[in-house]
Amino acid sequence: MNIELEITLRCNIACPGCSRHCSYLDYSDSDMTLEQIDKFVAEVKNHGDVDLISVMGGEPTIHPDFEIIMLKIYSELFQKGVIKRLQIVTNGVIPVSEVIKQLPLSVITVLWERDKLQNFRCQLVAPIDTGQEMKDWRDCEVLRCCGTAVNTYGVSPCGAGGAIARLFGLKKYIVFHLPKSASDFGDLWDMCKYCQVLAKPYMFYKDYGYIQSRSFKEAFNGAEERIRKLHRY
């Protein structure tokens, strides 16, 4: 299993196509605590079948304990052979410290540029609203490659799916322990029907610009209040 560890959902840039909705919602209280990180490390050790952990966000480098978290995961999970690969996904605005860069891990810089948005899907357009032909969620490359997401709110089948679950109040897709695989969540249709990844890839910013389909417009109403009431990992 691969894991996306979203140590915060705060971000220091505002990408209009953010699949975590960081640009649209107040995630000021979304930093994972060191206690939550300790719980996560223990669960990964007990899981026994984790290949890759991607430390990300939001923007992970703005977490006040970013370096402490990275060193803990490196020493407890990577160095001891519990996981095979460790990487950081950052927008590159805040440089990763030399202490972290010297570790044998990957640093992936993904910086959205507004003049290149035509290459990206419209993240806030639900296929269920547009009549797009949907692929089977079991064929989703995000579930297969990116993996399960863990953040302060709990564990979800994937990062984009977790954001949808929070936004639409789909609590059945937010649990508080690591599953063996995404299939442990059962049928993901209620979540995936809002996700552009499963839609036919023809709705791009170059054609539609920044839009929200009906389902997203309705879901954003009162979303922050619902999110504040969520349990924590």
Q: For the chain, give every domain's residue range.
A: 3-225
Kindly indicate whether the domain formed by 3-225 is annotated with CATH number 3.20.20.
Answer: yes
- pLDDT value at position 121? 79
Q: What is the mean pLDDT of residues 134-161?
A: 90
Judge if the upstream peptide bond of residue 169 is cis by omega within 30 degrees of 0.
Answer: no
Average pLDDT, the chain: 91
Question: Is it the case that residue 53 has pLDDT exceeding 70?
Answer: yes
Angle at 131 between CA 128 and CA 135, to 5 degrees: 75
* DSSP letter, residue 180: S
Q: Following DSSP, what letter does each residue of 181-215 receive, concatenated?
A: SGGGG---HHHHTT-GGGB-TT-BHHHH-S---HH
At 133, the pLDDT band (50, 70, 90 cuts) reads confident
Q: Are 83 and 77 within 8 A, CB to CB?
A: yes
Rg of the chain (C-alpha set): 17
Question: Is it the case that residue 126 has pLDDT exceeding 80?
Answer: yes
Would you say the C-alpha torsion 217, 218, 219, 222 has a positive or negative sign? positive
Q: What is the mean pLDDT of residues 177-200?
A: 87
- pLDDT value at position 110? 84
